[in-house]
Amino acid sequence: MALHQYERAVLKAAKNGAYDVSTVQAKTGLKKDAVLKAVQWLAEKKALRIKEEKKTEFKLEAEGRDFLENGFPETRLTKKAAEKNLAFTELSADEKRFGISWAKKLGWIIIMPTDSGKVIEATPEGKKAVKGEYAPMKLLRKVAEGRASEADQKELVGLSKRGNLVSFTEEVTVTFNLTPEGSKLAGEQGEMVQELNQLNKSQIVTGEWKKARLREYNIKAPSERAYPGKKHPLRQVIDRIRGIFLEMGFEEMKGNMVESSFWNFDALFQPQDHPARELADTFYLLKPDTMEIPDPELEKRVRETHEKGWKYQWKKEIAKQPVLRTHTTAVSARYLAETGSKKRKAPAKYFLIGKVYRNETVDFKHLAEFQQVDGIIVDENATFADLLGIIKEFYKKLGFEKIRFRPSYFPYTEPSLEIEVYYEERGEWMELGGAGIFRPEVCIPLWGKYPVLAWGLSLERPVMLSMGINDIRTFYRNDLSWLRDTKVGKEWI
């Protein structure tokens, strides 16, 4: 067993009858901290048994000596009041400052109003109390005579809070003896050789290091747990998803958190009287109070599509209302329109991972702010089979081999589907998002062509399921212990 030089020195001293720290110090020349460390290490190796004894020493301070000689303010005050009713003018400074409050607290005095002013009167309990010795006075006397013990410590600690009455110091005496394993180890130690913990320049230049014995490090010794910096679990997932889309040849979209209702709703063929646009679901902004629609021709096409499809009068002022985006598809709409205006080329593939905001009641499965993954493929030759293939390949790269699609409904895609993957560790299917082909009422006004493949995937919920988390708020509570200990499933990193 590899031992530190301090451990060998302590073993040798213990073998020769040294069983306390001070004796070991005298025999070895080691400092107290070095001896204590070595004793602790040997105890962990079961070579020593340690016994600790605590001894507390109490000392009477200046204010305590004064109280011992002249009495506590409350007792002096009560004794005077027991003889006659006292006026406030007859009290000393410390009797006014401390005596009155303590005597009242103990129920020794009452303050009575008179025609000439307030006076202090001793109660029967007070008169009785001052005939005997006050308990704190007994404590002070025990300290002064060196009779205070561990049993008195609690009361003395409380007494010390009144001022500079009593102080105390605590000394721990460590003694130890060799176990059978320790005796065996001690017998195996040869002549003591000085070890080097680290080399310096002089030892290297002179060659002295060749004669020295270098200390061996015990790499199995217990140590404090280290907490290096690491990415938040959701950031790990975001980076993984982003990497997969980039590997598949997608370009990352960028967009603003604040959008006009035009891009967030109208461009996606959502009618202006739709319930989702009400304050109950959407955060509307007071500043700016409006956001302009940049392209009059695009505005005209969207207006005509709404009025023809939904049979109502479309209003520009509603479309100009600013909102916190409720989905990242608002950014997809912008990119699709830029493709239609020739600012971007087609065919193209885009994705976006970003925050969205909804006026939800926050609970274990809902947040007002959360992450969404959006994607579109702008290609007039794209097919529904291409959409299924892209999504299947994406989840395969995440590690999900079993994937299935179920028919569904979404406001601005037709046909629409839900995506489910089989999570092996839980033995169940999990819904991870939705997808489909943008309706012509979305594609034609924005791009001028059809079709556009699209999908929107949730982020927090599937990660919750894979990590066994029951409350979505866990991700955002900044619980250090959770952040340090939690591990993201291997499929997400």
Q: From CA 273, how far away is CA 344, in angstroms rounded?
A: 32
What domains lie within the chain, and their CATH numbers? 5-47+179-214 (no CATH), 83-133 (no CATH), 233-492 (3.30.930.10)
The confidence score (pLDDT) of residue 180 equals: 87
SS3 state of residue 127? helix
Say what the pTM is. 0.60
pLDDT tens for residues 62-85? 888 888 888 898 899 899 888 888
Q: From CA 397, how far away is CA 270, in angstroms rounded?
A: 34
User: Is pLDDT at 491 greater than 70 in this prediction?
Assistant: no
Q: By mean pLDDT, which of 205-214, 320-329, 332-341, 475-484 is the weakest?
A: 205-214
User: Is pLDDT at 235 greater than 70 in this prediction?
Assistant: yes
Rounded to the nearest 10 degrees, how much is the dihedral formed by the CA atoms of 354, 358, 360, 366? -20
Phi, psi at residue 312, to the nearest 5°? -145, 170
pLDDT tens for residues 425-442? 778 888 888 999 999 999
Q: Name the burial class of residue 65, with classes exposed (0-12), middle (13-18) and buried (19+) by CB atoms within 10 angstroms of its CB.
A: middle
> Comparing 215 with 492, which gets the higher pLDDT?
215
Q: From CA 429, how far away is CA 404, in angstroms rounded?
A: 9
User: Is pLDDT at 490 greater than 80 in this prediction?
Assistant: no
Average pLDDT over residues 261-269: 96
DSSP 3: -
- The CA distances from residue 155 to 34, 134, 143, 189, 479, in Å, are 36, 13, 12, 50, 40
- The CA distances from residue 81 to 73, 102, 126, 172, 251, in Å, are 12, 14, 9, 47, 91
DSSP 475: G
Q: From CA 236, how far away is CA 242, in angstroms rounded?
A: 10
Own/partner pairs for 398-404, CB < 8 Å, 24+ apart? 398/240, 398/241, 398/244, 398/491, 398/492, 399/490, 399/491, 400/491, 404/429
Q: From CA 175, how far away is CA 50, in angstroms rounded?
A: 6
User: Is pLDDT at 246 greater than 90 in this prediction?
Assistant: yes
Amino acid at 207: G
The confidence score (pLDDT) of residue 192 equals: 59
| Residues in contact with 109: Cβ distance below 8 Å, sequence separation at least 6, in sequence order | 77, 78, 81, 100, 103, 120, 121, 122, 123, 126
